[in-house]
Every structure is written in structure tokens, then in C-alpha cells.
């Protein structure tokens, strides 16, 4: 497996585009993105568990009942959530794109991100979809990645090449996500494409399994968005024998999917609103996988720990505090904690108690932009990872007047 260029356009038969259509007031920023497969593709998706859901999620879930899709359209700047006419706008968006692309309206994934509860108009879509389709290109990944951004500061894209059944396949993805991220069954927005040949049922199984150790282990601020969605399109143009059951081919596909999703998780966490540091919490020695996940997620979600990481303060007591209230079955008298980064490693806790360490060394370790929080529970064989970011002054600045 190796990283390749192209993102969502790396796989055969996929093109993409992104333009400004008028949803955003800032004409410099793109606000509409499109991904297109030249043939109908197997499709799978997972969605937010928030009871307040954006209208596009309801429409997409209905469209994907047959496991087939050929295009993805997503706008930014207005989340199309809590709108009286939200369903109608999402459906009409698909109808407009259907007419322009010549594909079935119910073979379109529709998504939306931005401010919640703002009135939405179909006119920008009517104006924007024709040039959006004309702009489709095998080099369009960057434009599409930009078109789904809100408070993101960087575009997030990745692609890898792998082999299934002797055939070279590619899988790529783009993501947006900076704030309001504490996913359950998804993350802010992630769109993945592959030319691997896999049935809709196995594609859904692969995605639903993968997110349990990737996107469900990601948190920026503890808020689960109303518009979370991860979708995957697999058009089969790589020519491998169709994956219809578990086995070696399915396992290879899972490895490739996981390499893309983990990379996107890290990108999203590093680009958290106002963030200056990526936090990765690695937990080992747990009695069960559930315990390992619970501890890792609790630590990256701790506001106090996140603030300490911003200040490069080795306040390891906040780690133990988060472990203690996590609800996991742990023996607090066995816990070891270390902080690690490109500047080195420092052990701060042994068997649940503080040990002597150099504050100067700890400061150097925690001043880096990527921090590993390493926890050994010393009580079992299970391990897990979670991703987050530090909590800074800028997070409050960004969200204090996000709407106005």
C-alpha cells in the first residue's frame, strides 16, 4: 500500500469540482462541491446520531436504500438544518443535478454544512449546478475539498493504492471538520471514493466496522453535529473480482479504507477550531476493548486536559481524573502515563502515583504540535486510540460570533 496523488479523483472513473454559487457572502470562498462517478457505484454511508438532523441526511438515507449512487453534491455556508422547506430544497438540488448530469436523482448523495437554522433558497443551486458540472475534472479534488470547508483552515485530502485479487485499486477521501465534532456513527463530513469492486452490503459492513475505531474516536469539542455524514462510493472500475463476503480481499480493502480514515481523523483533529496541537491518546493494557476506547475518548474529551496541552503544562493529574470518571473498569493503582512528541518522551505517572520528572523536559515535549498521551492500564490485553486537539482562546473567539 502506498500514498498516491489525486484524493477523491485518484480512483478510476471519478471526477470532482468546486465553485462559488452564492450561498456564502464571501465570493472568494467556494461553497458548492461535486463528486461524480462515470458509472453507477456501490454506496454506503453512516450518519449522525443527533435527533436533530439536517434535511440532506434524510434524503440521502432514502436514496441509498438500494445501495447505489453515482454522484455526491455538498454545499457549505448554510447547513440546511431546521428549515421548514429543507427536504424540498435537498430533493430539488438532486433533481437539478440529475438533469444536468443525466443520472437518476435518487442515485445522488446530498450533504450540507454551515450555520444551523438559517433560511435557505434554491436559487444559488439553480445558478451554480450547471457551471459546477462543467467544471468536473480529474484534477478537481482540491476544489471539491475547498467547497465543503467552513471554519477549516486547510483542505483535507488523501489517497492510497492497494492490491485486491491481483488488481491495483485506489481509494481516496476528502473531509471537512473543525468544530462541533464529537461523532457517533460519523464525523463532520467525509466523502470517500474507490474503484474497487465490492458489493453494497460489504461496503456498508466495511464502513460501519471501520468508524468504530476511527471517526467514533475523534473529538474536538464534545458537540455532535446535526449534519455528520461519511459516505463511500465504489464503482468497480479497477476490475477485481467483486468482494461479496469476508476473506483476504475484504481484509485488504479494510486495511486500505482504514489508512484513509485514520489519516483524515488526524487531519480533522489537528485542524480543530483554534487548535495549535494534535492530541493522540494511546491506551493499552485494558481488560476489554470497550474499556480501552472509553478511557482514550474520555481523555481527549477532557477540557481541562486540552487546556493543559495548550499551555504545555504536564498536568498529568488531569489524565488520571479523566480515566477515573470515564466509567471504564480500571484499577487506578496500576496506571502508567507518559507524554511523547518529536522532542522526546517523559514518564509522569507510575502505578497511579506521581514520579519525579524534569519540568523542563516535559515543557519541550509538550511544546510540539503533535502530542502523544500514552496510558498503560496494566490490567489486560486490549488497546485503542483516540484523537483530539488542545483548547485555546481562539476556540471561544471563533464560536462566540460564528453566526453573526
Annotated catalytic residues are 187
Residue 148: other Cβ atoms inside 10 A: 30
**Interatomic CA distance for residues 29 and 21, integer angstroms:** 10
Give ∠ CA 50-56-59 in degrees, rounded to 5: 105
Q: Are 112 and 147 in contact (CB under 8 A)?
A: no
Q: How many helices (H) and strands (E) does the chain have?
A: 11, 15
Residue 394: other Cβ atoms inside 10 A: 13
**H or E element at residue 36:** strand 32-47
Written as nine digits, the cell of 180 is 462541533
Sequence-ordered list of residues with C-beta below 8 angstroms from that of 9, at least 6 positions apart, any chain: 15, 16, 137, 138, 139, 140, 141, 172, 193
**Interatomic CA distance for residues 36 and 23, integer angstroms:** 21
**Interatomic CA distance for residues 78 and 86, integer angstroms:** 11
Q: What is the DSSP letter of 228?
A: -
Written as nine digits, the cell of 319 is 489524565
**Region at 193 (left for phi over 0; alpha for psi -120 to 50; beta for the rest):** beta
b/e burial code for range 124-137 (CB count within 10 A of at least 16 → b)? bbeebbeebbebbe
Amino acid at each position: 500500500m502506498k500514498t498516491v496523488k489525486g484524493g477523491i479523483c485518484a480512483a478510476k472513473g471519478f471526477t470532482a469540482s468546486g465553485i462559488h454559487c452564492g450561498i456564502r457572502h464571501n465570493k472568494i470562498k467556494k461553497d458548492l462541491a461535486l463528486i461524480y462517478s462515470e458509472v453507477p457505484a456501490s454506496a454506503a454511508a453512516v450518519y449522525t446520531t443527533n435527533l436533530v438532523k439536517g434535511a440532506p441526511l434524510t434524503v440521502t438515507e432514502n436514496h441509498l436504500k438500494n445501495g447505489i449512487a453515482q454522484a455526491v453534491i455538498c454545499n457549505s455556508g448554510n447547513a440546511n438544518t431546521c428549515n421548514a422547506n429543507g427536504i424540498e430544497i435537498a430533493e430539488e438540488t438532486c433533481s437539478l443535478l440529475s438533469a444536468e448530469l443525466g443520472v437518476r436523482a435518487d442515485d445522488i448523495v446530498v450533504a450540507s454544512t454551515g450555520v444551523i437554522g438559517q433560511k435557505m433558497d434554491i436559487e444559488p443551486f439553480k445558478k451554480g449546478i450547471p457551471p459546477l458540472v462543467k467544471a468536473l475534472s480529474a484534477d478537481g479534488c482540491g476544489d471539491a475539498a475547498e467547497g465543503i470547508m467552513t471554519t477549516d483552515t486547510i483542505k483535507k485530502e488523501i489517497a492510497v493504492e492497494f492490491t485486491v485479487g491481483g488488481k491495483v485499486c485506489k481509494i481516496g477521501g476528502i473531509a471537512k471538520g473543525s468544530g462541533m465534532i464529537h461523532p457517533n456513527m460519523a464525523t463532520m463530513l467525509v466523502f470517500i471514493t474507490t474503484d474497487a469492486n465490492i458489493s453494497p452490503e460489504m461496503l456498508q459492513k466495511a464502513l460501519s466496522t471501520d468508524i468504530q475505531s476511527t471517526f467514533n474516536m475523534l473529538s474536538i469539542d464534545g458537540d455532535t453535529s446535526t449534519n455528520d455524514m461519511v459516505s463511500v462510493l465504489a464503482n468497480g472500475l479497477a476490475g477485481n473480482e467483486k468482494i461479496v463476503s469476508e476473506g483476504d480481499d475484504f481484509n485488504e480493502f479494510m486495511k486500505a479504507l482504514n489508512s484513509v480514515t485514520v489519516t483524515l481523523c488526524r487531519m480533522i483533529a489537528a485542524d480543530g477550531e483554534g487548535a495549535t496541537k494534535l492530541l493522540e491518546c494511546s491506551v493499552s493494557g485494558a481488560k476489554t476493548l470497550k474499556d480501552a476506547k472509553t478511557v482514550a475518548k474520555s481523555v481527549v474529551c477532557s477540557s481541562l486536559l486540552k487546556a493543559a496541552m495548550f499551555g504545555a503544562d504536564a498536568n498529568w493529574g488531569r489524565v488520571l481524573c479523566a480515566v477515573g470518571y470515564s466509567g471504564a473498569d480500571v484499577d487506578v493503582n496500576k496506571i502508567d502515563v507518559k507524554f511523547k512528541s518529536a522532542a522526546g518522551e517523559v514518564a509522569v505517572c507510575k502505578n497511579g502515583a506521581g514520579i519525579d520528572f524534569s519540568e523542563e523536559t516535559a515543557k519541550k515535549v509538550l511544546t510540539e504540535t503533535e502530542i502523544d498521551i500514552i496510558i498503560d492500564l496494566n490490567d489486560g490485553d486490549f488497546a485503542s486510540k483516540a484523537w483530539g486537539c488542545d483548547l485555546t482562546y481562539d476556540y471561544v473567539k471563533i464560536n462566540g460570533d460564528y453566526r453573526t
